[in-house]
A and B are shown apart, each in its own frame.
Chain A
């Protein structure tokens, strides 16, 4: 796998390892990790911390027939097969979210040849694909919270640096940047945004989900 120059910050990887990220971010992290072995190794390291935590917990009592019921579940479950490795523009988790590779995306025009496809929206948190024709600037957008941009095809540059396939850029609201797609190849990015204000209410929302079960 190619070495990406811009990998994901540790706090987002820890959040992903712990299962604490907003849904929109999960897709970007899973896609980035698929393309960047350094991120994959760091993620595995944070998961090792999770492994140590679970292994060190005091055992609680399980139901008397727990093992028997698990064996019954095993008998009723289909065998798990490793998914075959497929070469394409999109890594596996993104292909799953889209229902195919880059040619399967249902784009909506944004003007000037730019296109987008919203994959998931939950309140102010969203994840979308952006298609920027070669040499053009990204459509104007503002982000109040955090914005994660993963390059899947082509490359873009902004005031800070150049970002190519597999690279990820994380921008906070105080960062104003004007990404411009490089000439020669159209650029496809996966972009997730949140709004910081939403974050405070995020844990309570999970708690509500819990109570309804």
Chain B
């Protein structure tokens, strides 16, 4: 363990592991119809990315752009980029999204999560000036595809996670945001093992098992 909670350096919230406290498994109290509406939106994002991949659909891309481009830019500004760098970098991120659309796996990430990973990587390229090593890519290959039920379940989990974060006390939410903007060193991001993000983790694990199986039968 790199850091335990009794580490001498005070962490940002006084040493009690800000993220571990903040990422607790809270079940948000949401109205059912609100949830359904958000999930429908998630399904629409997935469908748009698929249209970009399958048909180079510019209308679908424009819709994805309208929602995500201003948020990617905001993320880059929060991470310390100035206006012009953030604009330039955001365009790179959105262009990468277009080209990587066929590699997006909706059983393992929401569209927002996938956009976040592209933005984060581009940010590291630009700000730290090196191409960060990324884990080996796993893909479904030409003949297999993720199970639709897995996709729906993962998108639901993602919606719940987003809602849980939204309902956190301001202080904890701010800490999470700062961690993801790169405002905290990893030594300030104190986390206990076994963070209770259990549902989403087991879901992704299951999708990975299925993907591994599909990969092994294809080769």
Contacts and interface: CB of A to CB of B under 8 A. Distances in A.
Interface in A12-57: 12, 14-15, 17-21, 23, 26-27, 30-31, 33-34, 37-38, 40-57
A107 to B, nearest CB: 21
Contacts of A38: 205
Contact of B180 (A53, A60, A170): A53
Contacts of B130: 23
B119 to A, nearest CB: 7
A213 interface: yes
Contacts of A104: none
A28 B84 CA distance: 33
A61 B72 CA distance: 11
Nearest to B93: A70
Contacts of B98: 70, 74
Task: Decide if the interface of chain A is mainly helix, strand, loop or mixed.
Answer: helix
Given A52-B162, A73-B91, A199-B187, A40 B73 contact: no
Contacts, number: 245
B189 A20 contact: yes
Contact of B208 (A21, A40, A93, A96): A40
Given A51-B110, A73-B91, A45 B71 contact: no
B184 A20 contact: yes
A172 interface: yes
Contacts of A37: 205, 208-209, 212
Contact of A85 (B73, B112, B136, B202): B136
B151 interface: no
B58 A71 contact: yes
Which residue among A45, A46, A97, A170 has the maximum number of chain B CB atoms within 10 Å of its CB? A45
B150 to A, nearest CB: 13
Contacts of B186: 11-12, 14-15, 18, 20-21
The 7 closest A-B pairs by CB, nearest first: A15-B186, A51-B113, A59-B70, A93-B133, A55-B112, A34-B136, A52-B162
Given A11-B186, A47-B116, A51-B110, 15 more contacts: A14-B186, A14-B191, A18-B120, A19-B121, A43-B135, A44-B109, A45-B200, A48-B109, A48-B200, A49-B23, A54-B119, A59-B74, A62-B87, A170-B1, A172-B1
